[in-house]
């Protein structure tokens, strides 16, 4: 009998194996686990059940940290190493009982909050204050329109950090809340304060993935951490951005780039009653306790905030100390500044990063930025209009700094116009060296823009003007001053971890080149980090580029099989006559061979066939060639054809309707890295076959990859390596990008245990062992020995005959 992980269903063997591996990792001194579990295999529940089981089993050992010291202030015992062992044991048992009693009291209190008669009270609160809230909003809207002073920054010399006032909730709300507590006769929140030092932080890429985690968290039931507790619910807290949690309609209606500064502005000016209410000790704890009473997702948090008329964003900080499981988006976890601002302490915590196949790209994107000549011109236009409108009302500090910003804009504009050369690296000092503007002054401008929130003020001013009255704002589609602010922040924080270079369209780009430096603090602070995803191969990309500071014996790697039986998936390498490398793929014979293979395949595979091409350009070339030879119409005679175009209409809806509604067959031609290659589920009849055309190597002549290649070479040379070593490292980098894209694309084929499909890797290079080793394990183990086109097609016929 294996370990009981309290899975809500009868787990599959592969789920048990994954949970065992994760549990063993947590019981060891290892620092990182890289786990690949194909989509459709219950990965999220496996992560929850293994980590929470470990958390509950180990929480008792850390219980001394979970409660506020004040709860034990009346203890008459103190422990000492000089006392006999039985005395110390007696003391520890007494402390444990006291703490368990407080935890049980809190659980009892939460039981009362989750009772059915509490939610109607919250609805009453919401209805009671709805009209009053509208009046407040209407009043603020009028004042913003009538008073342009709202667009002025505070005098820069003055302290811009006003004291927060503690405004109590109105008596009616307090009376309603008091009725709840009085009716249940439980202890007040102040007596139930505690902290939970053992935490699980779960981070994923999208809002929907975090919502799914919250939903899955409601399914299992775990025993309490102490036998002295009758029950123990999971204390779950979803952290999110202001954009997702803000309930102040004056702020939440703004563009996403403006929300943070608008919120801070409203808080400073005491114009947000929801924030003011969150500073009330009683109300913020009410919010925390309602949050912990049940598993609430982000949307529930918004509803709760509206019901209590308290800011969910700021109130969630109060709840953080007592939470056991916290979900948060990538940007919150990966940004040191955001973690600091939210009070997130990763010490001794378990950090789970889901969908981690794109983790390095995400880190790079968060810490990279660019500014184009068009952006600079838009900034100048906005700044000039704003300055001319308000210069008489700005104090000296603001006027001077705005003039400095305009001067810096001119400097960068001139530099781009004089020096642009695509792919050329730029030393940031050169941008300003001839203009009497040193890095210290840029650093001061960064501070000014951050403190004054001038980008938000100017953009709000631009948005407030009717376009007919301000035609010069019509062409400005986004808040470019925020882009400029981020750019000069990178310009002022010089490091060897990134590079500035020219990109297409007269653009200067800063790109982070060493994402491991950002990730290092997360690994070092936490107990361990779990990287999980459906397609994590090639894992060498993680160990070499994200985790070079972690010893190999401190990293655990594990790839799950799929839940489907082996008979439900065949993988073929179609080799003869196919090599889509750069030199050969344009040959008419290769394109003709591909048509003939798909034509034959279409007669053998029912319903949908998804084919992935390496680029939009090559797909367009193939389609054009086939049309010129009459091949395209012949293929359409077998199955309808839909194909993705760059920036074109979404064809997935029509493709799905053809198969699911009309029960007919179709081809859909997609592009690796395009809209259909990631995040789209081609389950069941939508993808009875997935065809990967060639190896989708990246464009090695793009500006970004040219800079990255040079950086890799410099690292090799600095370590004493040769040009040959540098070439090997660079090729490995390109190959990893390619195979990650392949795995993401073909991973669309199987979505659940009863699904079935065939995968076709159409290129002789897939026969190379090194390439096959970088395929997902569940795909690699199902590669069939046949590679001749005729043999593959015959085996395909047998496969689908057995399914019908």
Which residues have a Cβ under 8 Å from the Cβ of 720 and sit 6 or more positions away? Answer: none
Q: Residue 576 and residue 578: Cα distance in Å, rounded?
A: 6
Q: Which pLDDT score is estimated for 700?
A: 92
Lowest mean pLDDT among 29-33, 53-57, 429-433, 626-630: 429-433
How do beta strands 507-512 and 498-503 pair?
A: antiparallel
Q: Which pLDDT score is estimated for 122?
A: 56
Which residues have a Cβ under 8 Å from the Cβ of 471 and sit 6 or more positions away? Answer: none
Question: Which tokens sit at 387?
Answer: 């300055």
**How far, in whole angstroms, is CA 341 from its chain's centroid?**
18
Which residues have a Cβ under 8 Å from the Cβ of 690 and sit 6 or more positions away? Answer: 609, 610, 611, 612, 682, 745, 746, 748, 749, 757, 758, 759, 760
Q: Residue 547 and residue 514: Cα distance in Å, rounded?
A: 11
Q: Is the pLDDT of residue 118 over 60?
A: no
Q: Is the pLDDT of residue 126 over 70?
A: no
Query: Closest Cα partner for 460 from 15, 144, 27, 130?
Result: 144
pLDDT band (50, 70, 90) for residue 478: low
Q: Which pLDDT score is estimated for 228?
A: 80
The class of domain 566-801 in CATH terms is alpha beta
Task: Report the run of H or E that residue 326 belongs to, with start and end.
Answer: strand 325-329
Query: Closest Cα partner for 257 from 122, 458, 445?
Result: 458
Q: Which pLDDT score is estimated for 172?
A: 46
Q: Which pLDDT score is estimated for 605?
A: 97
Query: Closest Cα partner for 294 from 117, 120, 124, 113?
Result: 113
Is residue 236 a contact partner of residue 296, using CB atoms and an 8 Å limit? yes
Q: Which pLDDT score is estimated for 246?
A: 96
Q: Which pLDDT score is estimated for 679?
A: 61
Q: Which pLDDT score is estimated for 355?
A: 92
Q: What is the pLDDT of residues 235-278, one digit of tens each?
A: 999 999 999 999 999 999 888 888 999 999 899 889 999 999 99
Q: Which pLDDT score is estimated for 135?
A: 46
Which residues have a Cβ under 8 Å from the Cβ of 564 and sit 6 or more positions away? Answer: 750, 753, 754, 755, 756
Of 102 and 692, more confident: 692
* Phi, psi angle pair for 749, to nearest 5°: -75, -45
What percentage of the chain has pLDDT greater than the value 70?
83
Lowest mean pLDDT among 248-257, 466-475, 527-536: 466-475
Which residues have a Cβ under 8 Å from the Cβ of 588 and sit 6 or more positions away? Answer: 625
Cα distance from N-terminal residue to C-terminal residue, the chain: 38
Which residues have a Cβ under 8 Å from the Cβ of 559 and sit 6 or more positions away? Answer: 35, 36, 536, 537, 776, 777, 778
Q: Which pLDDT score is estimated for 493?
A: 77
Q: What is the pLDDT of residues 103-116, one digit of tens each?
A: 888 888 888 887 65
Which residues have a Cβ under 8 Å from the Cβ of 93 and sit 6 or more positions away? Answer: none
Same fold, 366-514 and 566-801: no
Q: What is the pLDDT of residues 748-759, one digit of tens each?
A: 788 888 999 999
3-state secondary structure 368-412: CEEEEHHHHHHHHHHHHHHHHHHCCCCCHHHHHHHHHHHHHHHHH
* Phi, psi angle pair for 9, to nearest 5°: -125, 175
* Phi, psi angle pair for 451, to nearest 5°: -75, -45
Q: Which pLDDT score is estimated for 185?
A: 40
How do beta strands 666-671 and 608-613 pair?
A: parallel
Residue 545 DSSP symbol: I
The mean pLDDT value of the chain amounts to 85
- Going 444 to 447 to 449 to 452, the CA torsion angle's sign is negative
Q: Is the pLDDT of residue 159 over 70?
A: no
Q: Residue 462 and residue 522: Cα distance in Å, rounded?
A: 40
Q: What is the pLDDT of residues 762-786, one digit of tens each?
A: 999 999 999 999 999 999 999 999 8
The Cα-based distances of 56 to 32, 222, 321, 473 in angstroms read 21, 8, 17, 57
Query: Closest Cα partner for 210 from 247, 187, 241?
Result: 241
pLDDT band (50, 70, 90) for residue 1: low
Question: Which tokens sit at 152?
Answer: 């002025």
Residue 459 DSSP symbol: H
Q: Which pLDDT score is estimated for 251?
A: 93
Q: Which pLDDT score is estimated for 487?
A: 94
The Cα-based distances of 180 to 61, 174, 278, 309 in angstroms read 34, 10, 19, 17
Question: Which tokens sit at 261?
Answer: 């500064």
Q: Which pLDDT score is estimated for 76?
A: 46
Q: Residue 154 and residue 150: Cα distance in Å, rounded?
A: 10
Which residues have a Cβ under 8 Å from the Cβ of 378 and sit 6 or more positions away? Answer: 475, 476, 480
Annotated domain spans of the chain: 66-349, 366-514, 566-801
3-state percent breakdown (helix, strand, coil) of the chain, nearest 5? 55, 10, 35
Task: Report the run of H or E that residue 608 belongs to, with start and end.
Answer: strand 608-613
Question: Which tokens sit at 468?
Answer: 């007919």
Q: Which pLDDT score is estimated for 365?
A: 93
Q: Which pLDDT score is estimated for 197?
A: 74
Q: What is the pLDDT of residues 537-560, one digit of tens each?
A: 999 999 999 999 999 999 999 999
Lowest mean pLDDT among 94-108, 270-284, 388-402: 94-108
Place of tokens 């982070």: 512
Is residue 500 a contact partner of residue 510, using CB atoms and an 8 Å limit? yes
User: Tell me: domain 366-514, CATH 3.90.1070, correct?
Assistant: no
One DSSP character per residue, 490-535 reads HHHS--TTEEEEEETTTEEEEEE--HHHHHHHHHHHSSEEEEEES-
Q: What is the pLDDT of residues 242-252, one digit of tens each?
A: 999 999 999 99
Q: Which pLDDT score is estimated for 91?
A: 65
Q: Residue 756 and residue 782: Cα distance in Å, rounded?
A: 13
Q: Which pLDDT score is estimated for 121?
A: 52
Q: What is the pLDDT of residues 31-76, one digit of tens each?
A: 999 999 998 889 999 999 999 999 999 887 766 544 434 344 444 4
Instruction: Report the largest interatomic distance among the alpha carbons of the chain, rounded to a whole angstrom.
Output: 94
Q: Residue 28 and residue 16: Cα distance in Å, rounded?
A: 18
Lowest mean pLDDT among 10-14, 159-163, 473-477: 159-163
């Amino acid at each position: 009998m294996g370990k009981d992980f309290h899975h809500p269903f009868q787990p599959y063997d592969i789920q048990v194996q994954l949970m065992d591996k994760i549990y063993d990792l947590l019981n060891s001194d290892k620092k990182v686990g890289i786990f690949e579990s194909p989509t459709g295999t219950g990965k999220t529940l496996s992560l929850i059940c293994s980590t929470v089981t470990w958390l509950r089993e180990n929480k008792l050992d850390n219980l001394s940290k979970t409660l506020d010291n004040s709860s034990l202030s009346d203890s008459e015992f103190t422990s000492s190493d000089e006392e006999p062992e039985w005395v110390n044991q007696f003391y520890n048992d007494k402390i444990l009982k006291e703490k368990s009693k407080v935890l049980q009291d809190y659980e009892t209190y939460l039981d009362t909050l989750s009772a059915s008669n509490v939610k109607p009270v919250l609805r009453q609160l919401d209805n009671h204050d709805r009209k009053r809230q509208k009046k407040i909003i209407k009043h603020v809207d009028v004042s913003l329109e009538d008073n342009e002073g709202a667009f002025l920054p505070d005098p820069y010399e003055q302290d811009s950090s006003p004291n927060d006032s503690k405004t109590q909730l109105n008596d009616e709300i307090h009376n309603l809340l008091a009725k709840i507590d009085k009716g249940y006769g439980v202890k007040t929140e102040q007596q139930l304060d505690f902290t939970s030092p053992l935490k699980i932080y779960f981070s994923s890429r999208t809002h929907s993935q975090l919502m799914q985690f919250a939903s899955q968290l409601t399914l299992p039931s775990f025993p309490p951490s102490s036998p002295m507790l009758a029950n123990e619910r999971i204390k779950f807290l979803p952290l999110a951005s202001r954009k997702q949690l803000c309930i102040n309609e004056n702020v939440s209606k703004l563009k996403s780039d403006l929300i943070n500064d608008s919120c801070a502005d409203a808080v400073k000016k005491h114009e947000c009653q929801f924030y003011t209410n969150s500073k009330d000790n009683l109300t913020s704890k009410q919010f925390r306790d309602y949050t912990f009473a049940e598993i609430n997702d982000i949307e529930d948090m918004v509803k709760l905030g509206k019901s209590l008329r308290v800011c969910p964003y700021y109130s969630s900080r109060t709840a953080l100390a007592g939470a056991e499981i916290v979900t948060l988006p990538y940007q919150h976890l990966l940004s040191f500044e955001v973690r600091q601002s939210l009070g997130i302490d990763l010490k001794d915590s378990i950090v789970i990063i889901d969908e981690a196949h794109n983790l390095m790209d995400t880190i790079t994107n968060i810490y990279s930025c660019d500014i184009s000549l068009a952006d600079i011109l838009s900034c100048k236009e906005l700044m000039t209009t704003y300055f001319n409108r308000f210069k008489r009302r700005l104090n000296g500090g603001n006027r001077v700094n705005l003039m400095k910003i305009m001067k810096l804009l001119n400097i960068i504009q001139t530099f781009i116009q004089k020096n642009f050369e695509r792919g050329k690296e730029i030393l940031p000092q050169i941008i300003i060296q001839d203009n009497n503007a040193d890095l210290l002054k840029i650093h001061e401008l960064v501070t000014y823009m951050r403190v004054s929130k001038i980008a938000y003020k100017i953009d709000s001013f631009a948005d407030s003007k009717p376009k007919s009255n301000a035609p010069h704002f019509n062409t400005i589609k986004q808040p470019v001053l925020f882009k400029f602010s981020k750019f000069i922040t990178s310009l002022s924080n010089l490091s060897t971890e990134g590079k500035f270079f020219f990109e297409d369209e007269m653009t200067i780009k800063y790109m982070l080149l060493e994402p491991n430096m950002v990730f290092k603090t997360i690994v070092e602070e936490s107990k361990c980090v779990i990287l999980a995803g459906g397609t994590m191969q090639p894992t060498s990309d993680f160990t070499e580029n994200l985790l070079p500071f972690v010893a190999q014996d401190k990293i655990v790697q594990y790839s799950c099989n799929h839940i489907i039986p082996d008979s439900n998936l065949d993988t073929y390498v179609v080799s003869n006559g196919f090599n889509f490398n750069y030199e050969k793929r344009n040959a008419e014979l290769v394109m003709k061979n591909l048509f003939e293979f798909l034509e034959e395949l279409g007669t053998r595979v029912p319903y949908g066939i998804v084919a992935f091409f390496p680029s939009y350009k090559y797909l367009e070339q193939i389609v054009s060639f086939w049309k010129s030879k009459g091949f395209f119409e012949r293929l359409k005679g077998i199955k309808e054809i839909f194909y993705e175009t760059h920036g074109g209409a979404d064809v997935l809806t029509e493709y799905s309707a053809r198969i699911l509604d009309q029960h007919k067959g179709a081809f859909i031609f997609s592009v690796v890295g395009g809209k259909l290659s990631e995040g789209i589920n081609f389950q069941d009849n939508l993808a009875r076959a997935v065809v990967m055309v060639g190896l989708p190597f990246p464009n090695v002549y793009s500006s970004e990859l040219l800079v990255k290649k040079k950086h890799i070479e410099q690292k090799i040379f600095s370590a004493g390596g040769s040009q040959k070593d540098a070439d090997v490292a660079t090729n490995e980098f390109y190959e990893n990008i390619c195979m990650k894209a392949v795995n993401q694309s073909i991973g669309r084929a199987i979505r659940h245990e009863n699904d079935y499909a065939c995968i076709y890797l159409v290129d002789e290079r897939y026969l190379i062992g090194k390439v096959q080793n970088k395929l997902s394990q569940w795909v690699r183990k199902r590669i069939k020995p046949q590679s001749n086109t005729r043999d593959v097609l015959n085996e395909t016929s047998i496969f689908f005959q057995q399914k019908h």
